[in-house]
Structure 1
């Protein structure tokens, strides 16, 4: 054993599907096509290169962020206790080979796989699981957005751990949370500096270095899961802000995979025999977040007025050119428990004007100019549809200034309570559990919006206690979604359709609806 075993008090949260509880349950034009390097002429086939549209956070501690670029690489460095099949929602073994609820139907017991080692050579045991869950659910950690309530953890022996909500009441989504939580080494957790400067997991790729916005990885030759071992020796994950530069790198063979392809680039990719286009309807949605601590955004009627003023159909059909889906709820249509939300705002300028007057600002009189921050270069078309939204608001008398920001500055502003009145963001949770969105956004203090809504807090907690799947889904539909529509802490603009492009000799890359990116399954023909 690496250390003495003991009962550890843990904080855990977000909630799970009953099905589990019961045992299963700035844009640029595309570069010229000429000059594209034929895939067959590339000599170096032992390195896979992926270009990221988002920058990395400064710390490698997985509990210190909810940054998508970091989460992508964490998926291949770390393993999880259990894994969810994205199509069937079936829970399958990972680092845990067995799991069951005890007779109280509250305590979850997991048996760990024997012989698994971290990349530094130390053995995985139950203490690592306990310390990982404790740190992730610590409310001082950024990643606690995925977690909501304390849990007690009992380390029974080296390979057995029990998790129990401290309230003594079952949480519906508990095991779903374990499907996306990367298991860290407890020894790393004890050493803050080491945790922040290194990625030490049990997964198919080992972290080598990070320099000049590029992460280098090498295959873990001793990976326990031989069937899912990395198929390419080296993996490079590099941040490139400009969409046109990413495509140019793909065309020349400098890159093998790129993300966040612009719709204008699609004809170039489809017309190039050396490239392939991949699309996936994602759990991600694009949102206009209202910053509650920036008056007058704490005015519910004003938030409603803005939401009814936005012509989302034109954004989806014309600006996004169909590479987006019409949103009918504050969670994606691919999430468990989705149903169209009663009261979900639709484009209605006259109603928007009425609500604006009821908010105390008839025709916008007395309302200060609002600031609307957005990123450029990461999400497609943010500046274009941002300008369109500003025009929509002007139509009902609201003056608004669009503030485009490069990705790093925008990320900083996103998590600041008073950076702007409104800010555009996507939200791609690591699983299909609805609480990963509604819990993170609307449970106080409200991710990004910094909202404190007691009534919404209470109903979210009530929802999380319902362990019957059908009853929980009905409660979400009839109680939770309508209340979110009433308070509208943010307005969902559309469901994301993610566009990736790859070289034609790249096989095995299958983007998932979530932030899980299985790069270890990719190989060259």
Structure 2
């Protein structure tokens, strides 16, 4: 090839290359007023809620415990025949679409939802309901402590339910021996959720850690004292629900540590917000404070079968020795209410004519002297190892009580143990005095007075071992009475008896606080402390 020809071709090649480079530059870098839009990758929608709580569950079979941390979880795995309102204890349809009651209050017939399945794929039907109730009524206090809400067990004289039968596949009938005014409210309580019969028969004792219900979330995994993981029930009978894909319940014992985890984004919701930390949360634009409707009581139980608390005068002295208002000012931000009776004022039948035991150290000393303990005595005071809605800082409250008792010559040695053991030993009457509390399950006076202080409830929720035949007769009459005004008068009389006998020191009715990320929406705290997360989601 001649040099002239080569040069001509080279120039032409370079010209074409420059033109192509120029074209290429134009496609990737337009002029300032003609820029291509930047394509951003969309962040996946957040669909896992991490719930920080103070203690672990003790079982995931809801009928096998009376403990609130269990119900926080099981409320989302299981469902009951009837259900409470979103933030109250009105009765609404649940697994039963409708029901009828005879005029004498002895026969209840429930029409069940059709097409509902348990998480293991088996059918929910009338036979499943009968199976569950037969299982419970043929058990005992050790197995199914909450079933005492129905007057004991099948062999007990006071047992309310005569029989439960399947009329057909979608109809179940309850026949009662006597009317029970709070019967429907009892059925709505978390412990009486319906389990899969097939799963119970397959798992046996292991069912406590392998729950199978019909609820919006299915159980996945339990790492004890760490996390419990639930996932969305894709076959749930309510279309479009739940809105979350996964829920993780995480144990963080200390309230302050839980708040730190919320601030750092490790968790999305926390219960047990200290009143002293409320301002910190409100000042954080990424967080919100949630208030639980109050329906609780925090108390010091005095085990009536242990000396010296078998003496009423000693129990009354302890009531006079504790400055409730100072405790409320120090640990509840001054927002709680000093407790006078074992049930909160919001419950129908509350006796507001009863005068509180005044804080009076001299009166307390005089009562001790009259009881034969002029020089005082030594006792153990057991403090809860976990924060509870009615007592967010139990150990600090115990220290204040310890100092107060020292003023009247009583030496209180503070003790504690893990939560499951604490509940078990308190229930068995092994403690001199213990700190506990109660969040109402159904909004009825029966759920406080009968559940916590009737002799039928010794071995379940009456950890003070208090027994009064007079009280028992009144409470059974109140259960049977269907006239609301007459029931209320009976409960007022019951509170007078309890106040005089002083089996407890009622301490406080709190307004529990929770905190959550600002992006958590549709979270509605329930007064029972066991809310469904079915409608909760994250802001888009």
Q: Same fold (TM over 0.5)?
A: yes
SS of the residue corresponding to residue 60 of structure 2 reads: coil
CA 1:392–1:234: 2 relative to 1, 3 Å: same
- Alignment RMSD: 2.2
Equivalent residue of 2:212, what SS?
coil
Q: Larger deviation: 230-239 or 274-283? A: 274-283
1:449, 1:88 → 2: CA distance? 29
In 2, Cα distance between equivalents of 1:207 and 1:87: 25
Cα 1:238–1:326 change in 2 (3 A) is same
Q: Trace 1:435-514 onto structure 2 (pairs within 5 A).
A: 435-444=446-455, 445=458, 447-477=462-492, 479-514=493-528
The aligned residue for residue 82 of structure 2 is: 82
Trace 1:39-438 onto structure 2 (pairs within 5 A).
45-57=46-58, 59-85=59-85, 89-137=89-137, 138-140=139-141, 141-148=144-151, 149-151=159-161, 152-165=163-176, 168-180=177-189, 181-191=192-202, 192-212=204-224, 213-226=226-239, 229-340=241-352, 342-364=354-376, 367=377, 369-379=378-388, 380-418=392-430, 420-438=431-449
Partners of 1:194 and 1:381 in 2: CA distance? 34
Select between 263-272 and 171-180 the one with higher mean Cα deviation: 263-272
* Structure 2 residue matching 1:70: 3-state secondary structure: helix
CA contact (8 A) 2:336 2:508 kept: yes
Q: How far apart are 1:256 and its partner, in Å?
A: 0.2
Distance 1:86 1:47, change over 3 A: closer
> What is the distance in 2 between the residues matched to 1:254 and 1:390?
36
Cα 1:324–1:67 shift into 2, 3 Å: same
How far residue 405 of structure 1 moved from its aligned partner, in angstroms, is 4.0
Q: 1: distance between equivalents of 2:111 and 2:293?
A: 34
Partners of 1:378 and 1:135 in 2: how far apart? 33
Task: Determine the C-alpha separation between the residues in 1 that align with 2:61 and 2:234.
Answer: 24
Distance 1:327 1:42, change over 3 A: farther
What does the per-residue CA deviation read over 1:133-173, in whole Å, with 9 as the maximum and x for residues that have no partner? 334444332222433224121221111112122xx321111
Match of residue 522 from structure 1? 536
Cα shift at 1:118: 0.7
Partner SS for 1:83: strand
Q: Conserved in 2, the CA contact under 8 Å of 1:378 and 1:407? A: no
Q: Of the two structures, which has the highest relative contact order with CA contacts closer than 8 Å and spacing of 6 or more?
A: 1
Alpha-carbon shift at residue 404 of structure 1 (Å) = 4.1
> Cα distance, 1:96 vs. partner?
0.8
Runs of 5+ unmatched residues, structure 2: 1-41, 152-158
CA distance in 2, matches of 1:341, 1:256: 43
Taking a change above 3 Å as real, the CA distance of residues 399 and 461 of structure 1, as seen in their structure-2 partners, is: same
**Contact preservation (8 Å) 1:258, 1:501:** yes
SS at match of 2:295: strand
Q: Which has the larger radius of gyration?
A: 2
Q: Deviations over 1:206-261 (max 9, x none)?
A: 1111124211111111111226x211111111111122221121112110001101
Deviations 1:278-334, CA, capped at 9 Å, x for gaps: 122422211101122322211111111111221111111233222422223211233
Please identify, of 389-398 and 118-127, the stretch whose mean Cα deviation from structure 2 is larger: 389-398
TM-score by length of 2: 0.83
1:98-153: CA deviations, max 9, x gaps? Answer: 11112433111111111111111111111222232334444332222433224121
Determine if contact 2:105/2:180 at 8 Å carries over to the other structure: no
CA contact under 8 A between 1:320 and 1:381: conserved in structure 2? no
5 Å-filtered alignment, 1:14-29, equals none
In 2, Cα distance between equivalents of 1:117 and 1:230: 16
CA contact (8 A) 1:302 1:355 kept: yes
Task: Report deviation, 1:194.
Answer: 4.9
Match of 1:15 in 2: none
Aligned-residue offset at 1:395 = 2.0
Listed one character per residue, the Cα deviations across residues 439-473 of structure 1 (whole Å, up to 9, x for unaligned) are: 12112225222233222222211221111011101
Q: Deviations over 1:186-221 (max 9, x none)?
A: 333434235223111111111111124211111111
User: Greater shift after overlay, 347-356 or 65-74?
Assistant: 347-356
Measure how far apart 1:435 and its partner are.
1.5
Task: Give secondary structure in 2 for the equivalent of 1:246.
Answer: helix
Q: Deviations over 1:349-369 (max 9, x none)?
A: 3332232223222252xx3x0
**Secondary structure in structure 2 of the residue aligned to 1:399:** strand
SS at match of 2:513: strand
- Relative to structure 1, is the Cα distance of residues 429 and 243 closer, same or farther in structure 2, using a 3 angstrom cutoff? same
